[in-house]
Amino acid sequence: MDLKVEPKPADPKPARPKPSVLNYYARNFAAEARRFRQGLTRENIKSFLNTMAWTLPLTVLIWVYAESEQQVEDKDRSIYIAVVSKDPSKIVTIDSREKVIICDLKGPRSNIDQFDQSQSPNKPITIALDTRSLAEGDNSIPTLDSLKTDPRFTNAGITIEACTPSFLTVNMDTLIQNLPMPVHAPNLPGLPAAKFDPATVQVSGPSRALEHMSSVTADITALASINVPGTHTGEVTALISDPANDLKFNPPEVKATFTVQEKDESYTVEQGVPIYYDIPQDIMDKDSITLNNSGGFVPNLHVIGPPDEIEKLKQGLFRPRAILEINDDTLRNSNSVPLKFDLPPNVRVDGAIPQVGFTATPRG
């Protein structure tokens, strides 16, 4: 009899525990670290650095360029302007208060900055006007329309969005050219006399400014401060200008020849000036002369003259004298006789000449 023995089932294998999340990331990090370490060679490092050497500056340049090309608004920008006529026989001028206007600009920041650096009173935006559409005298022209197509803006990619003032006052006049006019010095006290070379200049400008002019003025006001001892003759360059009327002069400057006289100095001889007699012998033989109430001196004599000669009086290097001249005429008018004075060269009495009286007594 056969016995069937049932095989004993194998014991079940225990289930593997599921890896934790921490272990999962740890194994992945370790694997990546192995791959990085295996790939970290000298050649790879050198290649990486070479790539960064040109990609990093290029990235910076691209960022800077993108920033500079970004459209920005620049409000209340001061703009210098000027006006000219397309017709050479006409002249247009603008009010001096409107030579600087305020504009709102829009465009790339780099272009606006570059335009701002080019701005100056000597390089204004010039508006060329067709004077056929203008009348003699004052005209109003729209500011924005006159500027928005100017090449200085369009070439820079800059747009003008608004202007203040909205209209410009432009005066149109006939241009007079090369009108001869004599040159003269300004009428100011203290200026020396001057002669100009050339004595006549050519003047060009609007008829409204020239119709009332008969001469032009050379600027020699600096000569008023010249104080040179003695007579001094010199030559300076005198500028001729008249910015208010937009006049032009040919030549724009002349030579001025001038003479500066020495400026006199005043001084008071306080110690008294002694009086001496100048009497002919025949009068002395018959008359005795006595001064009336003078004490024999002239007190506080005021004089004026060249500074170097006045200095001699101050230092006592020259002692002045008063001289009473008596002759037959003064004998008949003995109550008031003008004195004569012995003073340094070119020094003179400042004011009225002092006088004295005397008494002539016959000798017994």
Whether residue 107 is contained in a domain is answered as yes
Hey, what are 364's tokens? 């017994």
Task: Give 1's pLDDT tier (boundaries 50, 70, 90).
Answer: very low
CATH (domain of 143): 2.170.120.30
Residues 76 and 166 occupy one common structural domain? yes
Whether residue 150 is contained in a domain is answered as yes
Domain boundary (146, 173, 200) is at 173
Residues 221 and 272 occupy one common structural domain? no
Report residue 360: phi and psi, to 5°. -105, 115
Q: Are 127 and 160 in contact (CB under 8 A)?
A: no
Task: Give 180's pLDDT tier (boundaries 50, 70, 90).
Answer: very high
Amino acid (1-letter code) at residue 275: I
In this prediction, residue 341 carries a pLDDT of 93
In whole angstroms, give the CA distance from residue 37 to residue 31: 10
Whether residue 32 is contained in a domain is answered as no
Hey, what are 90's tokens? 């006409």
What is the arithmetic mean of pLDDT over 100-124?
85
> 235 vs 63, which has greater pLDDT?
235
Whether residue 322 is contained in a domain is answered as yes
Beta bridge partners of 253: 239
Q: Are 124 and 80 in contact (CB under 8 A)?
A: yes
Residues 141 and 98 occupy one common structural domain? yes
Residues 81 and 58 occupy one common structural domain? no
What is the arithmetic mean of pLDDT over 77-96?
89
Residues 284 and 353 occupy one common structural domain? yes
CA atoms within 13 A on the CB side of 67: 6
Q: Are 106 and 161 in contact (CB under 8 A)?
A: yes
Whether residue 159 is contained in a domain is answered as yes
In this prediction, residue 361 carries a pLDDT of 84
Residues 119 and 169 occupy one common structural domain? yes
In whole angstroms, give the CA distance from residue 240 to residue 196: 12
Residues 296 and 319 occupy one common structural domain? yes
What H or E segment, with its residue span, contains residue 276?
strand 273-278
Whether residue 334 is contained in a domain is answered as yes
What is the arithmetic mean of pLDDT over 305-331?
88
The pTM is what? 0.43
Q: Which residues contact 33 (CB under 8 A, 6 or more apart)?
A: none
Q: Which residues contact 258 (CB under 8 A, 6 or more apart)?
A: 192, 193, 194, 195, 220, 223, 233, 234, 235, 236
Residues 207 and 298 occupy one common structural domain? no
Hey, what are 176's tokens? 């007079």
In whole angstroms, give the CA distance from residue 148 to residue 161: 8
Sign of CA dihedral 348, 354, 357, 358: negative
Whether residue 344 is contained in a domain is answered as yes
pLDDT tens by residue, 9-25: 555 555 555 555 556 65
Hey, what are 143's tokens? 């500011």
Residues 46 and 128 occupy one common structural domain? no
Domain boundary (173, 196, 225) is at 173
In whole angstroms, give the CA distance from residue 276 to residue 155: 94
Whether residue 271 is contained in a domain is answered as yes
Domain count, the chain: 4
What is the arithmetic mean of pLDDT over 62-68?
54
Hey, what are 125's tokens? 């935006």
What H or E segment, with its residue span, contains residue 63?
helix 42-68
Q: Are 181 and 216 in contact (CB under 8 A)?
A: yes
Q: Is 309 left (phi over 0), alpha (psi -120 to 50) or beta?
A: alpha
Domain boundary (234, 260, 286) is at 260
pLDDT tens by residue, 189-234: 666 677 888 899 999 888 888 888 888 888 877 666 665 555 555 5
> 34 vs 112, which has greater pLDDT?
112
What H or E segment, with its residue span, contains residue 93?
strand 90-94
Residues 166 and 77 occupy one common structural domain? yes
Residues 83 and 168 occupy one common structural domain? yes
Residues 124 and 213 occupy one common structural domain? no
CA distances 188 to 181, 192, 217, 223, 224, Å, are: 20, 10, 12, 11, 9
| Parent domain of 344 | 265-362
